[in-house]
Amino acid sequence: MADVTLPLNVVGNDDREAHIADHSVADHSADRGGAHATSLGLSNNKLGMWLFLGSECLLFGGLISVYMLYRGRLGNGPTPEQVYNVPFTSVSSFVLLMSSLTMVLAVTAAARKDLKALDTWLAVTALLGATFVGGQVFEFTEFYKHGLGFTTSLFGSSFYTLTGFHGVHVTVGIIMLMAVRRMIKKERVPGDKAEVVEIVGLYWHFVDIIWIVIFTLVYLIPA
């Protein structure tokens, strides 16, 4: 950002502060594509997303806790060791992890205003996300064939609820990615495109970090 040069003999201290604020606000508006200045000097949209993600920690914390409590309540159903396919899920986890890389590359492309790279990375991220969800659908189908239904046992119910909620989040993320991609193509994104991509990216990375926790606690720790 450009320095603001103010002659001290022209303005007093209070005026100088006001000048600094005025210049900053003006510059912000330009950088953010005409977005409104805020009392914190931060983007309200971004702050809102961070608050949302903070609250999502509580949602997933509850679901993970319920799973940890009930994973030993097997009823007449199969045990986790009988149904889990750790190598398969490891590959799925790797795919989701790599989608975080492609997402951050999309964000940097947006910051560079490289629309072609942005479009490509958003599409690749969505594709990797769809691969992950496809893997989850396959996994659920296999588990069902092995006798683990949603109501078979408390383990089954808590497992499907936790991983299902996560899968829904990934699906919503894919929809957001495709929507943003289309809106940018059609030039329907008002204001700063880079910030919009970054906010969608925050959500996407969040579903990745939640999976990091789920993968460890659900699949790697024996019941």
Partner 1 sequence: MSIATDAHDTASHDDGPVQTEHVGGEFDHAHKPDIYYVKIAIFLAVLTGMEVGLKYIDIGALFLPVLFILMAIKFVTVVLFFMHLRFDSKWFNMAFWVGLGLAVLIYSGALATFKFWSR
Residues 97-126 that bind partner 1 (CB under 8 A): 97-98, 100-101, 103-105, 107-108, 111
Within 125-184, the residues that bind partner 1 by CB under 8 A are none
187 binds partner 1 (CB under 8 A): no
How many angstroms separate the Cα of 191 from the Cα of each of 21, 83, 153, 175, 197?
A: 21, 49, 50, 21, 12
Which residue matches tokens 């799973």?
67
Q: How far is the CB of 177 from partner 1 (least distance, A)?
A: 15
Mark residue 175 as left, alpha or beta (left: phi above 0; alpha: psi -120 to 50; beta: remaining): alpha
Q: How far is the CB of 149 from partner 1 (least distance, A)?
A: 25
93 binds partner 1 (CB under 8 A): yes
68 binds partner 1 (CB under 8 A): yes
Q: How far is CA 56 from the centre of its chain?
A: 11
CB closer to partner 1, 63 vs 174 = 63
Tokens describing residue 208: 């990745």
CA–CA distance, 43 with 134 (Å, rounded to integer): 35
For the chain, the straight-line distance linking the first and the last C-alpha, in angstroms and rounded, comes to 54
Within 8-37, the residues that bind partner 1 by CB under 8 A are 8, 16-17, 20-21, 23-25, 27-28, 31-32, 37
81 binds partner 1 (CB under 8 A): no
